[in-house]
Structure 1
Amino acid sequence: MLNNTSQILIATFSPWKNGKRMPTNGMVEPLVEYFSTRYKSVYLLDQPHPGSDILMPRIEVYKYGKLKKVQSSSFLISALSPLLAAQNVSATQVSFKLRDFLSVIDLVIGQKLKIDLFIGFESVNAIAGIFLKKVGFIKKVVYYVSDFSPKRYKSKWFNKFYLFLDKTAARYSDATWNVSEAMPAAREKLGYNMKDFSPQILAPNAFFRKEIKFLPLDKTKPFSIIYAGTLGLENGPDLAIQMMPQIIRRFPSASLTVAGGGRPEDEKLLKNLIKKLNLEKSINFVGFVPSNKELYSLVRKHRLLIAPYKAIRESVRWYADAVKIRMALACGLPVVTTQVPPNGKLAEKAGAGIITKDNPKDLANVIINIFSNKKTYLKMRKAAISAAKENTWENSYSSALNKMDLTN
C-alpha cells in the first residue's frame, strides 16, 4: 500500500529538440503531475528518444510536487556516448535500449534508492525494474505499454526478440498497464497462458481536467474538419486530403486543417497532393504544433475530427489507444474513423463517432451525411462532450493503482 511518504521512480522517454522536451513523449507530464503531487519523492528518468539533440538520460527529482534537482546519468552511462551518437537516428536502436536498461540500474544502485513503486515505460525499463526488485531495491514494478503489435518489426529475429522482451516484462512485473484492451487480447492470440502473466490492467490515455473543454458552436467554423497527428501515411492523412473534392462539391465552404509532424518525405508528398488536387484554398497545412495546449486550442475551433487510419495488416494501430480520437471528444468534436483503432468502437458506441472504410469515397460520404443533418451533428457533439467528461489522468491512474491494491 502506498502512502504519502512513498518513493516513486518513473523510467520513460522523450524526444528532445533545441534543448526542449517535445510533447509527443512517454506520458511524462501526466505521470509526474499525478505522482509528484501525492507522494513524497518522485524520480523521473527521462531517456532521450533516438533522433534527439541530447543523448544522456535526464534525472528529475520532485519533492512533494516541486522540482528540486536535475542531473544526468553517471560517467558509466556517458561512456556510451560515441556509440549513441553514431546511431542517433529516429528509429529503434539497440544501443539506446542498452543505455535505457543500464541507466535504470545506474540510478537506483548508484544512489542507493529504495523505491516503493517503479513504473517502466516499455519492456526494457520494466525488465530493469524486475531485476532491481529481485535484488531488493524495488517493491513493486509496473510495465506500462503504449504500443504493442505481434508483428512490430519486419526482421523475424528482431520481432521475436521484441516479443520475448514484452513477454518477460508482462510476466514478471507486478502489473501490466495497457492503454488498450486489444493488447492483452493480442498476447492471448499469440498462445500465451495469460494465467502466468501479471494482472493486465487497462490504463487508457486521458487528459488533465482543465484540458477537457469545448467552444460554443457559434465560435467554431462551419463545415470545418481537422486531421491532427503524425503524418505517416499509415495514419491516412492522404485519405483526408483525397476526400475533400467530394465534400467541397456538396459544401463549397468546407475546409480541412492538417496539423502534425513527420518525415520530410511524407510532408512533401502531402503538400504535392494538395497542389495536384487544387486544394490550396480549402486545406490549411499547419504542420507540427509544438505544444498540446496550442494543439487543443486549434482542434476546438473545428466541427469534426477525422482519424482515417489505414487497414494495414501489421500496423500497431490495431492495438493502440488512438489519442486523436480521445482528443476529439475532449475538445467537443465528433469523430470519423476507420475500423482500425480499438477506441473508435468506443466512440461509436457512445454516439460520438462513426466508423467507415479506409478510402476517400466512404470517408467523404459519412462526413457529408453528418454535415447535412444538423440534428445528427448536434446529437454527436453532445455525446462527445459527455463521453469525455471523466476521461482524466487522475481516473486512469487511480483506477490502475486501485486494481493493484496500492491505494484505498
Structure 2
Amino acid sequence: MDKLAIIDQMQLSKNSSVLILSHFAKRAEAGGGPPQDIRDYLIPKVNKLYYIEHPFLYSDDHRSSLTIYEDGMVKNLMFTPQIFGPGITIYIIQIIITWYFLLLTKTKFDLCVALDNLNTFTVLPLRKFGLIKKLVFYTIDYMPKRFENKTLNNIYHLIDRIACYHSDNIWILSERMIKARKQNNVDIKRSAPSILLPMGANLSEIKILPGKKIHRHDIVYVGYLTEKQGVQLVLKSLPKIISKIPDLKFIIIGQGEYEQKLRELSNNLNINDHVIFKGFVDNHKQVNNILCKSAIGVAPYPPILNNYTFYTDPGKPKLYLGCGLPVVITDLPAIAHVIQSAHAGLIVDYTVNSIAEALVTLLSDDRLYNMFRKNAIELSKQYDTNSLISEAFGKIN
C-alpha cells in the first residue's frame, strides 16, 4: 500500500489542515528528530501545515515559534521574544503562547500530532469543542520518575494520564512505555490505543559509501552530551584501543552540559590527538556524511537507574545502521538485542575492558567487520523513517 493511500485511510486529503506541537533542544530546519520527521513527511502531502515549537529549558534559543506551510512552502514564520524564568512559569507561558498562536490561525484542524503530554494537554479543549478532529499524543520519552521532586513528578504523571485518556491515539517508541505506564497507575483499558512508531533513519537522504572509501579506524558518536549517554566510557577505553590501533580516531558530534567534562577527560588521558569534538552540526546531511565515512557507531548507555533510554527507542543506533555502521552498544535499550541477533553489532558491558575488546575486534578483523557492515545495512531497511511514519498513520483510528 502506498503512502498516499494510507493518508487517505485516516481521511486526510491534500486539502487537510494539520497541526504539530513540539518542544526542541536545538531548532532544526530539516531533520533533527521525531517532530521534524513528522513535519517533513507531511509537508508535501497536505496543503496547510501549522508547526508550533517551544524550547526546552536547556535550549540556547528561548523563543517559541509558529511556522505555517502552504503547498510545501513556508508562508509565514512568527517568533516570540526570548522568554526566561523558572521552569513551571515557562511551561505555563508556553501553554498561553500555543493558545495565542492557534487563535491567530483561526483554523479547524483535521489532525493534531502533539509531542509530549504537556502539548497534548494544552490542546484537549480544542478537541473537546471540535476544533481538532483527530488528536495523536506522540510519546517520545517516558520515565516513571521524571522529576526528583515528588510533587512535580506527580503533576507530570497526572497530566500524562489525562493526555492518555483523552487523545484518539498514542504513538509510542517502545512497548516498554505501555508497561511503565501500567505500573504507574495508567488504566490501559481507558487509555487511547497505543501504536508503535519506533525511531528510524531517513534512508533516502543517506548515501552509503563503498567499504574501500570509509575511514576504517574511525569510530563515531552522535547525540546530546550528558553523563547518561556514556561517552566517557569510550574515552576511558581509548588508551587500550590505541595501543593496538595507533591511528584510531573518535569523532564526537553533539553538544551538551557534559561536554566540558568530556574535554577535560580527554586531556587528562592524553588522547586529544585521537579525539575530534565536532560540536553541534545543524546540517543533518553533513552529519550523515561524517557517519558514512566512519567505521563503527557507539551507543554506550550506562546502566543508570531511571535512565530514560530503557523505556524509549533511541535514534542513534538506527542512524548508525542506516549509514552502514556496525553498532557497539550496551544492554539497555531493546534495540540492542535486535542488533546483536542480526550480527549488525555487539552488546558490551559498561566497562572499559568490554568496550575496548569489542572495538578492537571490529577495527582489526576485516572479514568480521565486512559481514557486520553488510548486516547493518540490511537491518536498517526495517527502520526507514518515512515507511515507519506511513505505517503509523495507517493505524490511526
Do the structures match in fold with TM over 0.5?
A: yes
- Which one of the candidate residues 22, 28, 35 is aligned to 1:12? 22
- Which one of the candidate residues 188, 194, 198 is aligned to 1:200? 194
Residue in 2 that maps onto 1:348: 340
Residues 288-367 of structure 1: matches in 2 within 5 Å?
A: 288-367=280-359
- Which one of the candidate residues 41, 48, 57 is aligned to 1:41? 48
Answer whether contact 1:12 1:26 (CA < 8 A) is retained. Answer: no
Residue in 1 that maps onto 2:39: 32
Distance (Å, rounded) in 2 between the aligned partners of 1:250 and 1:387: 30
Is 1:262 aligned with 2:256?
yes
Is 1:166 aligned with 2:173?
no
Answer whether contact 1:41 1:64 (CA < 8 A) is retained. Answer: yes
Residue in 1 that maps onto 2:85: 86
Answer whether contact 1:143 1:176 (CA < 8 A) is retained. Answer: yes
Indicate the larger mover: 346-355 or 130-139. Answer: 346-355
Answer whether contact 1:212 1:388 (CA < 8 A) is retained. Answer: no
Q: 1:381 to 1:25 in 2, by over 3 A?
A: closer
Distance (Å, rounded) in 2 between the aligned partners of 1:236 and 1:246: 17
| One-letter identity of the residue aligned with 2:149 | S
Q: 1:97 to 1:306 in 2, by over 3 A?
A: same
> Which consecutive unaligned segments of at least 5 residues does structure 2 have?
1-10
- Which one of the candidate residues 56, 59, 68 is aligned to 1:61? 68
**Structure 1, residues 299-342: CA drift from partner, whole Å, max 9, x if none?**
11111111111000111111122111111001100000101122
Residue in 2 that maps onto 1:90: none
Question: What is the Cα deviation at residue 98 of structure 1?
Answer: 1.4
Is 1:246 aligned with 2:245?
no
Residue in 1 that maps onto 2:3: none
**Which is bigger in relative contact order (C-alpha 8 A, separation at least 6)?**
2
Question: What is the Cα deviation at residue 154 of structure 1?
Answer: 0.9
Runs of 4+ aligned residues of structure 1 deviating over 4 Å after TM superposition are: 20-26, 51-56
Answer whether contact 2:32 2:284 (CA < 8 A) is retained. Answer: no
Residue in 2 that maps onto 1:213: 207
**Structure 1, residues 274-301: CA drift from partner, whole Å, max 9, x if none?**
2222212222233332322221111111
Residues matched between the structures, number: 387
Residue in 2 that maps onto 1:283: 275
Question: What is the Cα deviation at residue 72 of structure 1?
Answer: 4.4
Could you tell me the TM-score, scaled by structure 1's length? 0.88
**Structure 1, residues 184-212: CA drift from partner, whole Å, max 9, x if none?**
12112324331111111111222333223
Q: 1:185 to 1:161 in 2, by over 3 A?
A: same
Distance (Å, rounded) in 2 between the aligned partners of 1:40 and 1:222: 45
Distance (Å, rounded) in 2 between the aligned partners of 1:103 and 1:114: 18
Distance (Å, rounded) in 2 between the aligned partners of 1:101 and 1:24: 25
Please tell me the root mean square deviation across aligned C-alpha atoms, in Å: 2.2
Residues 93-242 of structure 1: matches in 2 within 5 Å?
A: 93-242=87-236
Answer whether contact 2:331 2:347 (CA < 8 A) is retained. Answer: yes
Answer whether contact 1:15 1:22 (CA < 8 A) is retained. Answer: no
Secondary structure (helix, strand or coil) at the match of 2:144 reads coil
Distance (Å, rounded) in 1 between the aligned partners of 2:289 and 2:273: 22
Indicate the larger mover: 26-35 or 112-121. Answer: 26-35
**Structure 1, residues 210-258: CA drift from partner, whole Å, max 9, x if none?**
2233111111112221122222111111101011111122222222222
**Structure 1, residues 126-167: CA drift from partner, whole Å, max 9, x if none?**
112222111121111011111111112111111111111112
Q: 1:36 to 1:287 in 2, by over 3 A?
A: closer
Answer whether contact 1:213 1:332 (CA < 8 A) is retained. Answer: no
Percent of aligned pairs sharing the same letter: 28
Answer whether contact 1:140 1:174 (CA < 8 A) is retained. Answer: yes
Could you tell me the TM-score, scaled by structure 2's length? 0.91
> Which consecutive unaligned segments of at least 5 residues does structure 1 have?
88-92
Distance (Å, rounded) in 1 between the aligned partners of 2:97 and 2:341: 43
Residue in 1 that maps onto 2:5: none
Distance (Å, rounded) in 2 between the aligned partners of 1:249 and 1:72: 52
Secondary structure (helix, strand or coil) at the match of 2:325 reads coil
